[in-house]
Structure 1
Amino acid sequence: MIVTRESRSFLLSAALTRAGLALLRAKAPGGARRWQRENYAGRSVELYAGPAAALGAAGAVARECPGAGLAVLAAAVCGAYDDVAGDHRRGFRAHLEALRGGEVTSGAVKLFGISAAGLVAGALMKGRPLDKLLAGVVIAGAAHFVNLVDVRPGRAAGAVLALGAPGLLRGGAAGLSAAALGAAAAVLPDDLGERAMLGDTGAHALGAALGAAVVAGNGRAGLLAHAVAVVAAAVRGDRVTALARDLRV
């Protein structure tokens, strides 16, 4: 049986993710209670899926493209900081307003940290200056987009599976797409079953992996189209968040 590069990438990502889940469940740093959160329905779920998916995606992505692997890892670290130290504020506007007042929020750390990581990865993956910039926007924007849709069980992982599958047909993107898909598929059953949640850690990591696959499979026209799409999604999401906040007031 011939094992393709995409198959190896998918299996490595899925195996690392499942191994991470098992390890964290067996011996959770700080105790199991620290890893419990309430989901949208008030049910207690585990946060193990986030770091496990980040480990799986980053490991498999780094095998294909070390620079992209570092971006996935950086996105996960920024997301983890928000999972631990996040506050009530939602939307970039709220965090930027706080930053203007001298307060560095977890949202600001994510915004600038993931953006910087995306730009570095984009610079390593593309040759021309404009392509580097567009690639960075796509990677950071995809990380934000996947986190944006992570509002119900299975939506973030499902979005990665749906949006990443076409990349398997693109030669340059196939390995990176498979890496993102493997991690997403590995956590999907627990996510859908409301036993675990990705949190910002996992959602941002999977999104960055998806963005790296998009970058690898597209030239300038495709990068521009995807950059416009993720920026539009971010603006739309921020407006919806701001409206919801105002209505609560």
Structure 2
Amino acid sequence: MSRLRASALGATWTLGTLSAVRRSAPGGERRWARTNYAGGEVSLLGGLALAAGAGAAAASVGGRPGVAGTLAAAAGGGFGALDDLVEDPAESSTKGLRGHLGALARGRVTTGGAKLLGISAASIVAAAIATRGGLRDASTRPMAVRALDVATSGALVAGTANLLNLLDLRPGRALKAAALAATPVALTNGPGAELAAGVVGSSLAALPTDLAETTMLGDTGANAVGAVLGTSLALTRSPWLRGAALAGVVALTLASERVSFSRVIARTPVLREADAWGRLERA
């Protein structure tokens, strides 16, 4: 029942926030307008609403999982909004994880680099919160093992936030991926189940306007829901499942530096059909 409550709360907050910000957008509605892949005008307010929904659902969970999920959502949404809204002339020539890391190595902090550092730091803190208090029997393990657990769990949170953002290149794609990945976790009895249920509810609530191409997630929404999804995965008790999830996230992130996800999806019939489901038909 608590999972249903988290899912319903995530959906309700997402829809309610979208309705509210459409009437009175922070900074004015035009500030949130962007041109999408097809040249149409869409609103980033969908991402703001999703971040609020995912964060509210996480906050309702309570305990350490709730605190960790809320922190992850706030950091993902906040630093994502910084990247979405702050103009950075240097950003046009700095793309991808490699580009932002390269800029940081040269002493230049882009908004993307600030987002990378901010979400990474918050993810480590969220992981430290989530893995204490008996969730992993932390008190019985050596300090080095606990530190490694926090580091890898933090990498999973930050990596999932980044991966969802990389998928947000076509309407509905990132939301479908988030809901699909969160559903198996939500069906378990683990400590991350309620967080995952909140991801499912908020993602499905944001899906109609995203597919209709009136809103988009942007970094604000994709990073926020991805961070909460990553936190739910990090709370999985099995180290093998956490390791497999982290390996998958890292592999896909590295692959994105060399190949286009959109091209791979377009060439794979099953992925192409799933990706196109519910999207507007174009002449």
Give the alignment's TM-score, normalised by structure 2: 0.81
Q: How does 1:115-126 map to 2 (within 5 A)?
A: 115-126=120-131
Question: What letter corresponds to residue 175 of structure 1 in structure 2?
Answer: E
Distance of 2:45 and 2:225 partners within structure 1: 14
The equivalent of 1:201 in structure 2 is 220
* SS at structure 1 position matched to 2:17: helix
Contact 1:154/1:192 (<8 A) preserved: yes
Distance of 1:20 and 1:141 partners within structure 2: 26
Distance of 1:79 and 1:240 partners within structure 2: 24
The equivalent of 1:191 in structure 2 is 210
* 1:98 lines up with 2:79 in the alignment: no
Question: What letter corresponds to residue 50 of structure 2 in structure 1?
Answer: A
Question: What are the Cα deviations for residues 162-198 of structure 1, in whole angstroms up to 9, with x where unaligned?
Answer: 1111112211222111111111011100000001000
Aligned Cα RMSD in Å? 1.5
The equivalent of 2:263 in structure 1 is none
Match of 1:46 among 43, 46, 50: 43
Distance of 2:238 and 2:147 partners within structure 1: 13
| Post-superposition offset of 1:240 | 3.4
Contact 2:79/2:118 (<8 A) preserved: yes
| Post-superposition offset of 1:53 | 0.6
Give the alignment's TM-score, normalised by structure 1: 0.91
* SS at structure 1 position matched to 2:169: coil
User: Gapped runs of 5+ residues in structure 1?
Assistant: 242-249
The equivalent of 2:151 in structure 1 is 133
* 1:22 lines up with 2:40 in the alignment: no
Distance of 1:134 and 1:63 partners within structure 2: 26
User: Gapped runs of 5+ residues in structure 2?
Assistant: 132-137, 139-145, 261-283
The equivalent of 1:246 in structure 2 is none
The equivalent of 1:247 in structure 2 is none
Distance of 2:109 and 2:171 partners within structure 1: 30
* SS at structure 1 position matched to 2:42: strand
* SS at structure 2 position matched to 1:239: coil
Contact 1:131/1:223 (<8 A) preserved: no
Greater gyration radius:
2
The equivalent of 1:224 in structure 2 is 243
Runs of 4+ in structure 1 off by over 6 angstroms are: none
Tell me how many residue pairs correspond in the alignment: 239
| Post-superposition offset of 1:208 | 0.7
Distance of 2:60 and 2:41 partners within structure 1: 35
Identity %: 42
Question: What are the Cα deviations for residues 49-68 of structure 1, in whole angstroms up to 9, with x where unaligned?
Answer: 11111011011112221122
* SS at structure 2 position matched to 1:37: strand
| Post-superposition offset of 1:155 | 0.3
Distance of 2:32 and 2:243 partners within structure 1: 39
Distance of 2:26 and 2:53 partners within structure 1: 18
Contact 2:68/2:231 (<8 A) preserved: no
